[in-house]
Structures are given as structure tokens and as C-alpha cells.
Amino acid sequence: MRDGRVLSNVIATQTIHRKYGGVVPELASRAHHKTITDTVDQALQDAGLGPDEIDVVGVANGPGLMGSLLVGLSFAKGFSLAYGKPLVGVNHLDAHIYANFIEHQERYPAVALIVSGGHTRLVRVDGPFDHTTMGATRDDAAGEAFDKIGKMLGLEYPAGPEIDRLSQGGDPQFAQYPRAMIREGLDFSFSGLKTSVLYDLKDRPPEEVRASLADLCASVSAAIVDVLVEKARRAVGEAGVGTLLLSGGVSANSMLRARMATMAEEEGIEIQVPSMIYCTDNGAMIAKTAEIRYREGLVDDLSLQPYASAAD
């Protein structure tokens, strides 16, 4: 990243795939220590920079798996020490919010909706790193609900993208699934939907499930999307802001995008969504967030520690 422009954004699975022709197990976090050097090398090469030309080292130090975080953090500290560059720790969830500002102007105040396989969270953003969590999921994340319900419908896990594709030819009114807590606060709950689909499928003969797969997918999507849209609408209203920042992998969902666009028009607000590559986990969003933190004077030192859980 230079002056807000992404120079390189490398994901380890791709580099290693190219280099060794194999796939890195997604979950093998300690294997990160084997891939991090190659990944950083590749990033510098793509950017056409030497390590001494870097101004600031940004690193995600939480929330996440301690094993993975320690690998990245230790590497970043080593880099910072060896080349004498400032170190900036970044919260992974913050980075999903600031991913919006890779391609768009920074706008405050705003409400951010982070919606992915691991997170469903509404955050009020009053200024750079001036955040208040307005609501979060009490059980499953929205992306997890898509993935697991798709699996119940016989689709390959993770099934989110396939549900989205099938939903486009289905009737969202076909089955009535609950919109948990839709009028109650700004927290989310998606595990009841999973249970209700489970029982609904038990009541339907398997051939009917197969024949009405698109309708069932559309009904499930509508149940999830309705809740996300209504809570986002209410959060924006309560915060009294004119901007909604959408991010996380589920922001690719076409029904969610369409319904959010309609909501924005009705409410007279603006919605920003990053390009897909910056919605899912990526290095550029960490770099962007570190750039803004550095600008705001939020610099860390070698005592920076990783943390496992999101603090509310």
C-alpha cells in the first residue's frame, strides 16, 4: 500500500500453490511459519519494492487463533526490528471496516455491517478508530447459517455461494422460516433458523426437497437477508448517519446487495461495499487499516501482544 493505493495483496494458498503445486491446509495455522516468508517475498516482488523501502509494518494481532497470530506477529516484529520500521497492530474486525476505504473516500460517521462466515456485527464508526459495537450475533454468523443450511439441503459445504446461485431462480415466499429477533434490539441469532429448517426438511419427502431446492434456497436466503437488512436500517436510523459500510464475504450475496440497495434508496442513505477481493480476508485491508492508524499516530512497539477474542 502506498498513499492509499494497493501495490500487492498476496494470499499464501496461491503462492504456495504456484510454487509447490500443492494446497496448504486451510486450518494449519502453524504451517503459516513455513509460508510467511514466501508470501512476504512475493508481496514485495509484486510491489517492486525492497524491504528497506517499506515505511510501516502493519500486522493483525487479533482476534483469531493464537497460533496463527503469533506467527504473523513474530515475523512483523522481526521485520520491524531488522529494518527499523514502525510496527502497527491491527484488529482484524476493524480491518473489515476500513477495507471500505481502499477504493472509497473515508467517510465518518457511518455504520458498518461486517457479515461473513465468522462474524455478524454492526459497528458505529464516529471517526477513525472511534467505534461502538451496536450488535453482534449471539450464536451463528450469517455466513455460517448459509453454509450449514446449504449442507442440510444436500449442497457441498461451504454452501453459501451455491445457495445464492440457486436462490435467484426460486420463490422466497415458498417456505416461511423465522426472522429471529427481527424487531428486538440489534443483536442477531441464526441458530434457530438452522433448527427450523432441519425440522421443515424432516416433514418433506426427499424428492420434494430436491424438486423445490431453488425455492427452499430462496426462502432461507430471504430469512437471513430480511434480518440483516432490517437491523442495518434500524442501526443507521439509531445512529443518525447517512452511510452504511458493508463488508465481509457475505456482502457478495446478490439478494443481500439488491435488498440493501432498495433499503438505502428508501432511507436516503449511501452504501459502500468493497470489491470482493477486499471483502474476504486479505492483506490489503490490514495494510489500509495500518496506514490510517499510523496517520492517526497509533503506533505500537515490540511489546505488542496477540489476543484471541473480540472485546466488546
Interface residue list for another protein (CB under 8 A): 25-31, 63-68, 116-119, 137-141, 143-144, 148, 151-152, 191-192, 194-195, 197-199, 202, 308-309
By C-beta, is 1 or 220 nearer to another protein? 220
Q: Which is nearer to another protein, 86 or 118 (CB)?
A: 118
Residue 267 · residue 238 · CB < 8 Å: no
**Whose Cβ is closer to another protein: residue 137's or residue 272's?**
137
CB of 107 to another protein, least distance (A): 29
Contact 112, 89 (CB under 8 A): no
| Residue 103 beta carbon to another protein: minimum distance, rounded to whole angstroms | 25
∠ CA 144-24-148, nearest 5°, is 15
Query: Which one, 16 or 54, has the nearer CB to another protein?
Result: 16
Other Cβ atoms less than 10 A from the Cβ of 307: the count is 14
In contact, 163 and 146? CB cutoff 8 Å: yes
Cβ neighbours, 10 Å, residue 177: 22
Contact 287, 6 (CB under 8 A): yes
Closest by Cα among 311, 139, 142, 99 to 232: 142
Residue nearer to another protein on the CB measure, 136 or 255: 136
Residue 16's alpha-carbon distances to 13, 45, 47, in angstroms, are 5, 15, 18
Tell the smallest beta-carbon distance from residue 3 to another protein (Å). Answer: 33
172 backbone dihedrals φ, ψ, rounded to 5°: -65, -15
As measured in angstroms, the least distance from the Cβ of 118 to another protein is: 3
Burial of 229 (0-12, 13-18, 19+ CB in 10 A): buried
Rank residues 5 and 202 by Cβ distance to another protein and give the closer one: 202
CB of 239 to another protein, least distance (A): 22
**Toward another protein, which CB reaches closer, 30 or 210?**
30
Q: Nearest approach, Cβ of 35 to another protein (angstroms)?
A: 12
Task: In angstroms, give the least distance from the CB of 308 to another protein.
Answer: 5
Contact present, 121 and 114 (Cβ < 8 Å): yes
Q: According to the 3-state scheme, what is the secondary structure of 95-164?
A: HHHHHHHCCCCCCCCEEEEEECCCCEEEEEEEECCEEEEEEEECCCCHHHHHHHHHHHCCCCCCCHHHHH
State the minimum distance, in angstroms, from the CB of residue 166 to another protein. 18
State which residue, 88 or 141, has the beta carbon closest to another protein: 141
Q: CA angle at residue 309 from 137 to 248, to 5 degrees?
A: 50
